[in-house]
């Protein structure tokens, strides 16, 4: 199902818009400015979702960030929140798979060793996206956050946008 056209406010219409990667490429890369930068972000998303599917057997990903805006500003990243179909399967992940899952999530305030250093923000896919995990019952919180449009000084009052959902 193709993604809807951009609104007059240069956002996707409000709501959750199911899509596959071809739909995302058509609307969010080809039908928007800064196609070269969007190509890079799309490639990061494609690789990220492939890695996610190796660790989480089934679920949904809500996609937001600069990629889902049709602005003259160059998109610098995208945001993805993962909604696993079976939360219990994550609790059963082995050590290696658990490590792989943590590597797919944005970490804030991370301390790493040898050499010891503090990193304020660690992101997957070379910093091109932020990845989050939605705990059961938190869907409304994420939906509200993904529907808001942020300006340089925070959310823009009265402006609501849609975002993309991909299933695997």
pLDDT tens per residue across span 119-148: 676 788 988 999 999 999 999 999 999 999
Helix (H) or strand (E) holding 62: strand 59-65
- Looking at residue 130, its pLDDT comes to 96
User: What pLDDT, in 10s, does the model give residues 82-125?
Assistant: 999 999 999 899 999 999 999 999 987 767 777 777 667 678 89
Q: What is the mean pLDDT of residues 72-91?
A: 94
Identify the sign of the CA torsion 33, 36, 41, 42. positive
The closest of 60, 49, 50, 3 to 26, measured between CA atoms, is 3
- Edge-first strand order for the sheet with 162-167 is 15-18, 162-167, 59-65, 78-84, 129-133
- The answer on pLDDT for 40 being more than 80 is yes
- Following CA atoms 44, 13, 72, 144 in sequence, which dihedral angle do they give, to the nearest 10 degrees? -70
Query: Helices in 15-149 by DSSP H: which ranges?
Result: 21-24, 35-55, 87-91, 95-103, 139-147
- pTM, two decimals, is 0.91
Q: What is the mean pLDDT of residues 58-73?
A: 95
- Looking at residue 62, its pLDDT comes to 98
3-class secondary structure, 44:
helix
């Amino acid at each position: 199902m193709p993604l809807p056209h951009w609104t007059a406010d240069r956002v996707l219409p409000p709501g959750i818009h199911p899509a596959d990667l071809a739909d995302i490429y058509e609307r969010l890369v080809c039908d928007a400015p800064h196609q070269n930068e969007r190509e890079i972000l799309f490639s990061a998303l494609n690789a990220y979702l492939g890695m996610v599917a190796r660790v989480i057997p089934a679920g949904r990903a809500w996609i937001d960030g600069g990629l889902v805006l049709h602005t003259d500003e160059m998109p610098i990243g995208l945001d993805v929140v993962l909604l696993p179909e079976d939360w219990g399967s994550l609790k059963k992940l082995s050590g290696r798979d658990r490590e792989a899952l943590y590597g797919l999530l944005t970490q804030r305030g991370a301390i790493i060793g040898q050499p010891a250093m503090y990193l304020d923000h660690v992101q997957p896919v070379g910093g091109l996206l932020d990845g989050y995990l939605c705990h059961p019952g938190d869907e409304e919180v994420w939906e509200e956050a993904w529907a808001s449009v942020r300006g340089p000084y925070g959310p823009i009052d009265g402006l609501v946008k849609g975002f993309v959902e991909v299933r695997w």
